[in-house]
A and B are shown apart, each in its own frame.
Chain A
Amino acid sequence: MSDNTTAARPYAKAVFEMAQAESKQKEWSDVLALLTDVVNNEEMRDVLQMPQMGAAAKGGLLIDICSDKLSDSNRNFVKLLAENGRLSLMTEIFTLYEELRAEAESKIEASVRSAYPLTDIQIKAMTEALKKKLGCDVTLVTEIDATLIGGVVIKAGDLVIDGSAQARLDSLAYTLSH
């Protein structure tokens, strides 16, 4: 998984820089999302792994499937990936591209898990606080997780702020047993 990320990084960077130069960040984003979906389709995955099928044929197949949604440079990108045998990296390239895009636009997506649904006021307060802490625009994605018992767990990138009742009970259990 981490090796794939390393291999995908130069592609993502190249695509992002090209998209930036042409101001087509949004378009590339959509295309990459589409390609990722296609590549991850179960039948498609089997086809792409067939050894008896040539690289050009695999690239051609992918282009045919999404033909009406691809521009010329999109097609070239798919051909290049097929030639280098890196079509399987599509997911990582998409993830890294989105990271680069978020970084350039100084945006970050944070997920909030809570035991009970959050009110709009709470979400707004949390967004403001995170904005201050991380220094960039924050989009919150909320999720309900009853196992937390109470409180919230915020995750933005690698940073995790754990304010759940479950975590506090765990640390109490640890303190008592050690």
Chain B
Amino acid sequence: MQLNPSEISELIKKRIESFESHAEARTEGTIVSLTDGIIRIHGLAEVMQGEMIELPGNTYALALNLERDSVGAVVLGSYNHLSEGDTAKCTGRILEVPTGDALLGRVVDSLGMPIDGKGPIDTKTSSPIEKIAPGVIERKSVDQPVQTGLKSIDSMVPIGRGQRELIIGDRQTGKTAVAIDAIINQKGTGVKCIYVAVGQKASTIANVVRKLEEHGAMEHTIVVAAAASDSAAMQYIAPYSGCAMGEFYRDNGEDALIVYDDLTKQAWAYRQVSLLLRRPPGREAYPGDVFYLHSRLLERASRVNAAYVEKHTNGAVKGKTGSLTALPIIETQDGDVSAFVPTNVISITDGQIFLESDLFNAGIRPAINAGLSVSRVGGAAQTKIIKKLGGGVRLALAQYRELAAFAQFASDLDDATRAQLERGTRVTELMKQSQYSPMDIADMAFTLFAVDKGFMDDVEVNKILDFEAAMLSHLKSNNADLVNTINETGDFNDDIANQMKAAVESFKANGIW
């Protein structure tokens, strides 16, 4: 016979000793109907919106509809053992999830219960899943970067700590890949990551977890998974649970990055729950509060000032700011960004990274549309050197797009126009980057420097990436000091520019590609 670890007599003794029992006064009601995971309860006069309701068999439900003569609630998890006439009790509590460092490296469900088979999680703290976002006074402006390690993003649509940057695009355009690369690049930076998977196949989630493990990124990552086979209620609350886990780091003066993959499916789950609760449908059959669904979630991603952190930790952490950066993902249908949910989330976030299937199929990966992608606050947070050198790249691409359209018809072009077109094709080529190979600041700086100062103008377009790889490895072996300085300080001045120029020239003179 097999014994559980919890059946050791010492433990049993302790538990019996600490067990306190007293008569409890609670409000009770009766389940009058049970359909598709939605229960209607008669009675329960004192229930609150969003309160947990205790049902028989250690099941809980979430009160969502408070009506005059009944309460509509959604069962969290399986509802096969419930039946009409069962009693439902108020708990007086809002749904809570465990938080803390013990969750790092683990895969949990929407309630914070482990689902990776690695045993129980020993957390000391917990936090309600729905919380009010910090107010204006408690915030600090975004001025530190989150390096994603993708040169096209860090140079053209930089992301700051505490920012909300939307990743939007059709299916199969590499949205998840961008987010996973960003998570992998946080290794060793102290930024904790939370990956919330909503409505995906369990096999897809398992693949992501395996990739994160392969690249050593699981040590700083929590995966919150609500797979497609989980109930709609679990998919609806998963982002809030993940956010509560991320807020733990923000409120303790640390930095965290959270990826919601993806909010379209969460909106679908919420629509399902709402329609079953008989809430009136609106545009695209979504209920009236889908905007609030996403705005209250994304507003919790923020940078908070030292006073907030000090107050929150009761003075244990002094002089440190905290941040929670959010990368929500939205999947569009056939590039339609004017659908309901995409427009909502675009308007809530501080910018978007727009991925296109045409670019993806043309081999430009990450398939970022540089014209439509923006970052409204990230510029202030960009590393000085990338900001100085990335400006030229953005400009070159903008001019290239304008010229490329009508240059197709022109037979002969003047030299200036041809130079711009040549530069544009090279920059486009250079923005390609393979998956799982994030770059550090110095690598990026040298690449941008080389193309911006014209060192790549005489390199064939199909050799650009080879040239880049050869140059970076040459610099790492011959100019290690300069590379380290750039990585550590991120400064840019005439002295550094001259050193970089000399280094690149020396490579062009001696190197092969």
Contacts and interface: CB of A to CB of B under 8 A. Distances in A.
B67 interface: yes
Given A158-B43, A158-B44, A2 B25 contact: no
B111 to A, nearest CB: 13
6 contacts: A2-B67, A9-B68, A161-B25, A162-B24, A168-B21, A176-B12
A157 interface: yes
B16 interface: yes
A167 B58 CA distance: 14
Interface string A137-167: 0000000000000010001011111110001
A171 interface: yes
A9 B68 CA distance: 10
A2 B45 contact: no
Contact of B15 (A2, A158, A159, A175): A175
- A-B CB proximity, top 4 nearest: A163-B23, A2-B70, A5-B69, A2-B69
A157 B16 contact: no
A147 to B, nearest CB: 14
B406 interface: no
Given A2-B40, A176-B15, A158 B29 contact: yes
B84 to A, nearest CB: 9
Interface in B111-127: none
Given A1-B42, A2-B40, A176-B16, A160 B28 contact: yes
Contacts of A151: 23
Given A5-B69, A158-B43, A158-B45, A172 B28 contact: no
Interface in B12-37: 12, 15-16, 19, 21, 23-29, 32-33
Interface of A: 1-3, 5-6, 9, 151, 155, 157-163, 167-168, 171-172, 174-177
A174 B58 contact: yes
Nearest to A161: B25
Nearest to B30: A1
A162 B23 contact: yes
A9 B89 CA distance: 25
Nearest to B72: A2
Contacts of B69: 2-3, 5-6, 9
B10 interface: no
A158 B27 CA distance: 5
Between A151, A159, A174, A177, the greatest number of chain B beta carbons within 10 A of the residue's beta carbon is seen for: A159
Contact of A172 (B19, B25, B46, B68): B19
Contacts of B15: 175-176
A5 B40 CA distance: 13
Contact of B28 (A5, A155, A175, A176): A155
A151 to B, nearest CB: 8
A176 B70 CA distance: 34
Interface of B: 6, 12, 15-16, 19, 21, 23-29, 32-33, 40, 42-46, 58, 67-70, 89
Contacts of A155: 28
A160 B25 contact: yes
Contacts of B23: 151, 161-163
Contacts of A172: 16, 19, 21
Nearest to A7: B69
Nearest to B26: A160
Contact of B42 (A2, A162, A171): A2
A155 B25 CA distance: 10
Contacts of B67: 2
Contacts of B6: 176-177
A159 B27 contact: yes
Contacts of B32: 1-2
B64 to A, nearest CB: 15
Contacts of B12: 176
A64 to B, nearest CB: 33
Contact of A160 (B19, B27, B70): B27
Given A172-B19, A176-B15, A159 B58 contact: no
A161 B44 CA distance: 14
A89 to B, nearest CB: 13
Given A1-B42, A176-B15, 6 more contacts: A5-B69, A9-B68, A158-B29, A159-B28, A162-B23, A168-B21
B353 to A, nearest CB: 43
Contacts of B45: 157-158
A160 B2 CA distance: 39
A120 to B, nearest CB: 22
A165 B27 CA distance: 19
B25 A175 contact: no
Given A6-B68, A6-B69, A157-B45, A162 B19 contact: no
A151 B23 CA distance: 9
Contacts of A168: 21
Contacts of B70: 2, 5
